[in-house]
Protein backbone atom coordinates (compact mmCIF):
# COMPACT_ATOMS: atom_id res chain seq x y z
CA UNK A 1 0.00 0.00 0.00
CA UNK A 2 2.84 2.42 0.82
CA UNK A 3 4.40 1.91 -2.62
CA UNK A 4 1.05 2.75 -4.26
CA UNK A 5 1.10 6.11 -2.46
CA UNK A 6 4.59 6.78 -3.83
CA UNK A 7 3.42 5.96 -7.37
CA UNK A 8 0.39 8.25 -7.09
CA UNK A 9 2.14 11.24 -5.49
CA UNK A 10 5.59 10.87 -7.09
CA UNK A 11 6.60 11.90 -10.57
CA UNK A 12 7.74 9.46 -13.24
CA UNK A 13 11.35 10.37 -12.45
CA UNK A 14 10.86 9.62 -8.76
CA UNK A 15 9.28 6.28 -9.55
CA UNK A 16 12.16 5.46 -11.91
CA UNK A 17 14.75 6.26 -9.22
CA UNK A 18 12.88 4.32 -6.52
CA UNK A 19 12.55 1.32 -8.84
CA UNK A 20 16.27 1.36 -9.59
CA UNK A 21 17.13 1.64 -5.88
CA UNK A 22 14.93 -1.37 -5.07
CA UNK A 23 16.53 -3.39 -7.89
CA UNK A 24 20.03 -2.55 -6.64
CA UNK A 25 19.11 -3.54 -3.08
CA UNK A 26 17.69 -6.84 -4.35
CA UNK A 27 20.86 -7.53 -6.34
CA UNK A 28 23.01 -6.87 -3.27
CA UNK A 29 20.77 -9.10 -1.14
CA UNK A 30 20.96 -11.97 -3.63
CA UNK A 31 24.73 -11.56 -3.95
CA UNK A 32 25.12 -11.82 -0.17
CA UNK A 33 22.81 -14.81 0.19
CA UNK A 34 24.41 -16.85 -2.60
Residue boundaries of the structural domains of the chain = 2-33
pLDDT of residue 9: 60
Determine contact, residues 6/18, Cβ cutoff 8 Å.
yes
pLDDT of residue 27: 92
Cβ-based neighbours of 10, under 8 Å, separated by 6 or more = 18
pLDDT of residue 28: 93
pLDDT of residue 17: 84
pLDDT of residue 34: 79
pLDDT of residue 4: 61
- pLDDT tens across 1-34, in order? 465 655 556 567 777 888 889 999 999 999 998 7
pLDDT of residue 19: 86
Amino acid sequence: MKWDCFKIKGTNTTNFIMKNVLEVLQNIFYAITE
